[in-house]
């Protein structure tokens, strides 16, 4: 009966509280954004806020269910859960498209997105496979198996035309990295075919994923900023190319990074830290510069294609530019930027609400700008800090697990949240391309609310039972 006693006793309260806080703040923001004078009640289920209240209710109910179920079933039934999820992903492909994507499994008026739940299924199966494997023995089979678990749903999701969720699945790569999956077998398999070369290990293969992430992040940021100009409040009239601003920030980051490292490191390592900081700056500037000037030398139609993908321009641009107006992202940026230090105040937004409609999707994918416009820099920074806290808390939870299954699962949750937050908030502040994925526990939407809740409640359940598990 120890299990039952631990139902509440060993729950990770900080995580649970922050989850509930996000749900409450999300409802408050959806209410303010979509508020309609004719339907003032928060519980008016004909309005999105009423529905959001309902979805949160359903999600909490699911959470309680999760708590009542023995967490061992996930491990046991990892393969059937994965199989069921893949089946759903296949089924939706044959259903009529909604908003241009075959991602909805409809039940009457309601619908769910199987892709949202596939994340949980993949997390569980990956946890199961990695905990069963002896990863200390790196071989091609390990790499291929783990990647295959990932690639199957990703391929199906790509067929659904849902680029956002597709990208989110790459977050599992970080989990695999943490667990020691190395791409070295693949890289060595290629490199060592060249006569005269026989590496035992490559730095690139071992740290393939973080390197890839940094390169992609830098490239995208460079492209997003390449068209912008930077103006400084204290230097009116002066305009700098966005690239210079990026280089400047890279420099500051390396400097700050080095300064922080100096505080931690012993004297012996300080010299190495300096070298790493310099190399990091030079490398990142080089990559960024190469992308920046490489992009400039592309043909115009190639540029447009890339810009379309990144959401620097979108299809609606052609239409909206005619009015001398700007497109969605610009609207979102204006909403965020106009928030100022303290914001316009709750329910007082000018741009990001459904009444004026200047920012489309202001209750779903662009909800961050609605929040930022109302609460300003103070509120936005608190929200960002809360998300960072949540992720770091989950990493902490992950690291304290005895079972490898639990740890992999926890890291999966942390990294999925990380992707969602980084991309969603990033696209509101021109640091990420416009990819339609929701802000976890905050954006309006049943599927994402339910899937994130289940994901987190499973984690809380696993964590609360961590002491029961031996391996």
Partner 1 sequence: MKYDGRKYVIITFITLIGIIYAFKLFYMQVVDDSWKLRAQEIAEKRREITPPRAVILDRNGKKVVENKTYYNLMMCEDEIVDLDTAAFGKLIGWTREEIRERFKEIKTEQGKFRNRQTGKMESNYRSFRTYPFLKEMTADEMSTIVPHLEQFPGFREEVSSMRNYPYGNAANILGYLAEANAEEVGPRKFYKNGDYIGRAGVERYYEEEIRGKKGIKYVVLDAVNDKVASFENGKYDTTAKQADPIHLGLDIELQAYGETLMQNKKGAIVAIEPKTGEILTLVSAPTYDPNLLVGKKKIKENYPDLVNDENKPLFPRPLASAYMPGSTFKTIQSLIGMQEGVITENTGIPCNKSVVGCHNHPSAQNVTQAVQMSCNPYFYAVTRRIIHQKKSKNINEDAAIGLGKWAEYMHSFGLGKKLESDLTGISSGVIPDPKYYDKWYGHNNWRFSTIRSISIGQGEVQLTPLQLANVAAIMANRGWYITPHVVKSVGDSGPLERFRKKNYTMVDRKYFDPVVEGMRRCVHEPGGTARRARIPGITMCGKTGTVEDQRELKGGKLLKRPNHSVFICFAPMDDPKIAVAVFIENAGGGGGTWAAPTASLIVEKYLNGEICEQNKPKEQRILDAKLSLWE
Give residues in contact with partner 1 (CB under 8 A).
Answer: 136, 174, 177-180, 207, 210, 213, 231-233, 249, 253, 317-318, 321-323, 325-326, 330-331, 333-341, 350-351, 355-358, 360, 372, 376-377, 380-381, 384-385, 387-388, 391-392, 395, 398-399, 411, 414-415, 418, 421-422, 425-426, 429-431
Q: How far is CA 188 from the centre of its chain?
A: 31
Q: How far is the CB of 158 from partner 1 (least distance, A)?
A: 25
Q: Which is nearer to partner 1, 16 or 431 (CB)?
A: 431
Q: Which is nearer to partner 1, 311 or 446 (CB)?
A: 311
Q: What is the dihedral sign for C-alpha 118, 120, 123, 124?
A: negative
Torsion of CA 395, 396, 402, 407, to 10 degrees: -10
Q: How far is the CB of 86 from partner 1 (least distance, A)?
A: 28
Q: How far is the CB of 2 from partner 1 (least distance, A)?
A: 27
Q: Which is nearer to partner 1, 162 or 374 (CB)?
A: 374
Q: How far is the CB of 341 from partner 1 (least distance, A)?
A: 5
Q: Which is nearer to partner 1, 63 or 339 (CB)?
A: 339
Q: How far is the CB of 277 from partner 1 (least distance, A)?
A: 13
CA R_g for the chain: 23
Record the tokens describing residue 6, joined without a space: 């631990």
What does the chain come to in residues? 471
Q: How far is the CB of 32 from partner 1 (least distance, A)?
A: 15
The structure tokens 């806080």 sit at 21
* Integer CA distances (angstroms), 147 to 117, 125, 171, in order: 19, 12, 12
Q: Which is nearer to partner 1, 103 or 138 (CB)?
A: 138
Please state, in angstroms and rounded to a whole number, the distance separating the CA atoms of residues 304 and 314: 9
Q: Which is nearer to partner 1, 42 or 384 (CB)?
A: 384
Of 167, 123, 175, 114, nearest to 149 (Cα)?
Answer: 123
Contact 135, 181 (CB under 8 A): yes
Of 366, 372, 383, 370, nearest to 342 (Cα)?
Answer: 372
Q: Which is nearer to partner 1, 199 or 389 (CB)?
A: 389
Please state, in angstroms and rounded to a whole number, the distance separating the CA atoms of residues 246 and 285: 9
Please state, in angstroms and rounded to a whole number, the distance separating the CA atoms of residues 346 and 348: 5
Query: Which 3 state secondary structure label does DSSP give 181?
Result: coil
Contact 338, 374 (CB under 8 A): no
Q: How far is the CB of 26 from partner 1 (least distance, A)?
A: 18
Q: Which is nearer to partner 1, 53 or 415 (CB)?
A: 415
Q: Give the DSSP letter string of 341-396.
A: TT-S-TT--SSSSTTT-SSTTTTTTTHHHHHHHHHHHHHHHHHHHHHHHHHHHHHH
The structure tokens 């609605």 sit at 370
Q: How far is the CB of 336 from partner 1 (least distance, A)?
A: 6
Q: Which is nearer to partner 1, 165 or 380 (CB)?
A: 380
Please state, in angstroms and rounded to a whole number, the distance separating the CA atoms of residues 345 and 376: 8
Q: How far is the CB of 425 from partner 1 (least distance, A)?
A: 6
Q: How far is the CB of 317 from partner 1 (least distance, A)?
A: 8
* Integer CA distances (angstroms), 201 to 186, 198, 211, in order: 11, 9, 16
Q: Which is nearer to partner 1, 191 or 280 (CB)?
A: 280
Torsion of CA 457, 463, 464, 469, to 10 degrees: 130
Q: How far is the CB of 358 from partner 1 (least distance, A)?
A: 5
Please state, in angstroms and rounded to a whole number, the distance separating the CA atoms of residues 459 and 413: 8
Q: Which is nearer to partner 1, 56 or 250 (CB)?
A: 250
Contact 115, 103 (CB under 8 A): yes
Cβ burial, residue 316 (10 Å; 0-12/13-18/19+): exposed
Q: How far is the CB of 250 from partner 1 (least distance, A)?
A: 11
Q: Which is nearer to partner 1, 331 or 461 (CB)?
A: 331
């Amino acid at each position: 009966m120890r299990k039952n006693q631990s139902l509440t006793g060993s729950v990770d309260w900080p995580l649970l509280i922050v989850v509930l806080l996000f749900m409450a703040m999300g409802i408050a923001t959806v209410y303010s954004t979509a508020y309609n004078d004719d339907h003032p009640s928060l519980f008016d289920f004909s309005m999105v806020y009423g529905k959001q209240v309902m979805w949160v209710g359903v999600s909490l109910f699911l959470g309680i269910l999760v708590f009542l179920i023995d967490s061992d079933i996930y491990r046991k039934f990892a393969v059937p859960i994965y199989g069921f999820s893949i089946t759903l992903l296949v089924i939706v492909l044959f259903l009529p498209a909604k908003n241009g994507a075959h991602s909805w499994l409809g039940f009457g008026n309601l619908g769910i997105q199987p892709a949202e739940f596939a994340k949980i299924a993949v997390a569980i199966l990956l946890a199961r496979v990695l905990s069963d494997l002896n990863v200390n023995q790196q071989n091609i089979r390990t790499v291929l198996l783990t990647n295959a678990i990932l690639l199957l749903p990703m391929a199906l999701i790509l067929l659904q035309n849902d680029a956002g969720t597709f990208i989110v699945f790459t977050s599992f790569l970080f989990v695999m990295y943490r667990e020691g999956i190395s791409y070295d077998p693949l890289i060595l398999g290629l490199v060592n075919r060249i006569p005269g070369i026989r590496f035992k290990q490559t730095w690139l293969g071992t740290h393939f994923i973080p390197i890839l992430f940094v390169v992609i992040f830098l490239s995208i940021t460079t492209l997003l900023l390449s068209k912008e100009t930077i103006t400084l409040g204290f230097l009116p009239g002066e305009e700098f190319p966005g690239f210079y601003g990026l280089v400047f920030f890279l420099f500051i980051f390396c400097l700050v990074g080095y300064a922080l490292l100096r505080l931690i490191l012993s004297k012996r390592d300080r010299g190495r830290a300096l070298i790493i900081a310099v190399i990091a700056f030079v490398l990142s500037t080089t990559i960024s510069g190469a992308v920046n000037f490489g992009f400039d030398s592309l043909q115009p139609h190639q540029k447009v294609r890339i810009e379309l993908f990144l959401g620097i321009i979108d299809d609606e641009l052609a239409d909206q530019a005619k009015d001398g107006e700007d497109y969605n992202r610009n609207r979102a940026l204006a909403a965020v930027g106009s928030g100022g230090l303290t914001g316009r105040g709750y329910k007082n937004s000018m741009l990001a609400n459904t009444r004026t409609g200047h920012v489309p999707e202001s209750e779903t994918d662009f909800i961050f700008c609605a929040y930022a416009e109302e609460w300003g820099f103070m509120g936005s920074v608190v929200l960002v800090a809360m998300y960072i806290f949540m992720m770091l808390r989950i990493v902490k939870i992950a690291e304290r697990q005895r079972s490898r299954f639990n740890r992999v699962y926890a890291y999966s949750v942390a990294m999925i949240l990380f992707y969602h937050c980084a991309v969603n908030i990033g696209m509101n502040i021109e640091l990420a391309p416009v990819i339609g994925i929701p802000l976890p526990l905050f954006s309006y939407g049943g599927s994402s609310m339910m899937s994130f809740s289940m994901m987190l409640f499973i984690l809380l359940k696993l964590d609360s039972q961590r002491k029961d598990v031996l391996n």
